[in-house]
Amino acid sequence: MSLNAALPRYSERVVARDRGLAAELAYGTLRLYPRLALLLDQLLERPLAAGTGLVRGLLLCGLYQLDHLRVPEYAAVASTVEAARALRHQPWAAGLVNAVLRNRQRRRAALDAALAAEPVAVHAHPAWLLERLQADWPADWPAIVEASNQQAPMMLRVNLARESRDEALARLATAGIAAAAHAQVASAVVLEHPAEVSALPGFADGRLSVQDGAGQLAAPLLAPEPGDRVLDACCAPGGKTGHLLETALGLELLALDIDATRLVRVRENLDRLGYDAELLAADAAAPADWWDGRPFERILLDAPCSATGVIRRHPDIKALRQPADIDALAARQRALLDALWPLLAPGGILLYATCSLLRAENETVIAAFLAAHPDAAELVIDADWGLALRHGRQILPGSAGLDGFYYARLLRTP
C-alpha cells in the first residue's frame, strides 16, 4: 500500500494536534529511507527476524527524529521507546529500540564518517536507482537526486474556462494565501506555503484544483477540439481528466481505469468541477472487452510507470520500487500503446505521458513504437520547458519547480 493511501487511514487514530508530526515522521523517514536503513543495519548486532516490520519501522522513525527533527534527543528516544512498549506481542522491542538509539548517540561521529563514503547514504536513493539515473542522465543526476530529496511545492490548477489566473490569484491574496503564477504553465499557481484545500477559495466549486504544473501540460499538449471523442486511458485519480474537460467544452470523454475503486475518486473530482464523463473500469490494453468500434480523435495515455519523477511527492517509491519492475513496466507501456493505437482516428493525436525519469520507460518505448508502426509520426513538442530528446520531451524534477514528467505526441497518419 502506498503512503498516500495508508496515512489518512491511520491518521484517524492520532489526536488532531499530532497529525502534522505523524505525517512529517512518515514522509521524512521514507524520504531518507535508503540512508536510514543503511545506518540501522550498522547499528544492529544481527538482522531483525521476519515479522518484525513494525519494530524496524519504529527504529527508522527514531533515527529520523534523532538526526533530522528539531526535537531534544532525549525526547526522540523516549517517545520511540514508549511507542515500542505498545507492541504487546513483542515485549523485547522497547529494550532493543532504547539500545539502538542510544548506540546511535554514542557512535555518531564514527557512523557519520562511514556513511559519508556510501553513495546510497549520501544521496538517500537506492543503489539500483542511482545507477540508472547516472546512466540515463550523466550530467544531471546529482541535481535530480537533490531535487527528489526536497519537499515539493503545492501547486494549483486554475479552471481557465471559469476565470482568469489573475482573478484566482486575487482571491487567494484576499484570503491571506501567498501565491504566484508559474512562468511556464498558463494554468498553474504556486503556493508559497502548503494549505488545506478547505481554505482555498474556489476549490469547493471547481475553480481551483490541486495539481503539479507538469501534469497540467497534458491537456494543452493533447489539444482536444470541442466535440471531440477523447479517451483518457489510465485516468485515476482524475486530475488530467478534469483538465481536459476544462480545456474544450462538449467533449465526449471516456475515462478508463483498471481499478474500479480508483474511479470513485475520479467521479468525486468531476462532481466537484461540475463536469461529466463516462467512467469505465476496464483494462486499456484489452479494448476488445470495452471498445464500441468508434474511433477517438484524441487519446491520452498516462501510462503506469516507475514514478521516479515524483519521488519528492511520493518518497515511499524509494522503498517500494524494485529494479525488476522497470522491464515489466516498459512491457506494459508497449502493450498499451499497441492496443490503443488502432482506436485512434486517422489524423488523431495520442499523447504518451509518464512521471518517470528512466529512458527505458520513455524515449526507448516511443522509439520502438515508431519503428513498428509506419502510420505513426511524432509531432515534435516545441516548448520552453523540459529537455528535447530524440523522441519526446523530458522534465527533470525541480526544473522550474516542476515534477519529473515525460511527454511524446504521436499523430496517426492517413
Rounded to an integer, what distance in angstroms lies between the CA atom of residue 272 and that of residue 268?
A: 6
Sheet holding 208-210, edge to edge: 179-181, 188-191, 155-158, 208-210
- Cα-Cα-Cα-Cα torsion 284, 289, 295, 299, nearest 10 degrees, comes to -10
Nearest CA to 379 out of 354, 346, 344, 408 is that of 408
> Cβ distance 97 to 58 under 8 Å?
yes
Q: Helix, strand or coil for residue 210? A: strand
Nearest CA to 144 out of 311, 20, 300 is that of 311
Q: What are phi and psi of 278, to 5 degrees?
A: -80, 125
How open is the CA angle 168-200-257, to the nearest 5 degrees? 95
Phi-psi region of 277 (alpha: psi -120 to 50; beta: other; left: phi over 0): beta
Cell of 143: 541535481
DSSP 343-364: GEEEEEEEEEEES---GGGTHH
Question: How far out from the chain centre does Cα 255 lie?
Answer: 20
> Cβ distance 403 to 395 under 8 Å?
yes
Rounded to an integer, what distance in angstroms lies between the CA atom of residue 215 and that of residue 157?
A: 10
pTM of the complete model: 0.94
Question: What is the bridge-based pairing of β-strands 376-379 and 405-412?
Answer: antiparallel
- Cα-Cα-Cα-Cα torsion 44, 45, 46, 47, nearest 10 degrees, comes to 10
State yes or no: cis peptide before 237, omega within 30 of 0: yes
Which stretches of 97-233 are assigned E, i.e. beta strand? 155-158, 179-181, 188-191, 208-210, 229-232
**Bridge partner residues of 209 (DSSP):** 157
> Cβ distance 224 to 240 under 8 Å?
no
Q: Write down the pLDDT at residue 19.
A: 82
Rounded to an integer, what distance in angstroms lies between the CA atom of residue 255 and that of residue 264?
A: 12
Rounded to an integer, what distance in angstroms lies between the CA atom of residue 207 and that of residue 200?
A: 10
Rounded to an integer, what distance in angstroms lies between the CA atom of residue 407 and that of residue 220?
A: 12
The amino acid occupying position 185 is: V
Rounded to an integer, what distance in angstroms lies between the CA atom of residue 365 and that of residue 389?
A: 13
> Cβ atoms within 10 A of the Cβ of 48, count?
14
Q: What are phi and psi of 181, to 5 degrees?
A: -70, 140
**355 is known as an active-site residue:** yes
Nearest CA to 303 out of 233, 209, 402, 203 is that of 233
Rounded to an integer, what distance in angstroms lies between the CA atom of residue 288 and that of residue 248?
A: 28
Rounded to an integer, what distance in angstroms lies between the CA atom of residue 253 and that of residue 279?
A: 9
> Cβ distance 224 to 244 under 8 Å?
yes
Q: How many CA atoms lie within 13 A of 297 on its CB side?
A: 11
Q: Write down the pLDDT at residue 372.
A: 98
Q: What are phi and psi of 187, to 5 degrees?
A: -100, 0
Tens digit of pLDDT at every position of the chain (414 positions)? 688 777 777 777 777 777 888 889 999 999 999 999 999 999 998 999 888 899 999 999 999 999 999 889 999 999 999 999 998 889 999 999 999 999 999 999 999 999 999 999 999 999 999 999 999 999 999 999 999 999 999 999 999 999 999 999 999 999 999 999 999 999 999 999 999 999 999 999 999 999 999 999 999 999 999 999 999 999 999 999 999 999 998 999 999 999 999 999 999 999 999 999 999 999 999 999 999 999 999 999 999 999 999 999 999 999 999 999 999 999 999 999 999 999 999 999 999 999 999 999 999 999 999 999 999 999 999 999 999 999 999 999 999 999 999 999 999 998
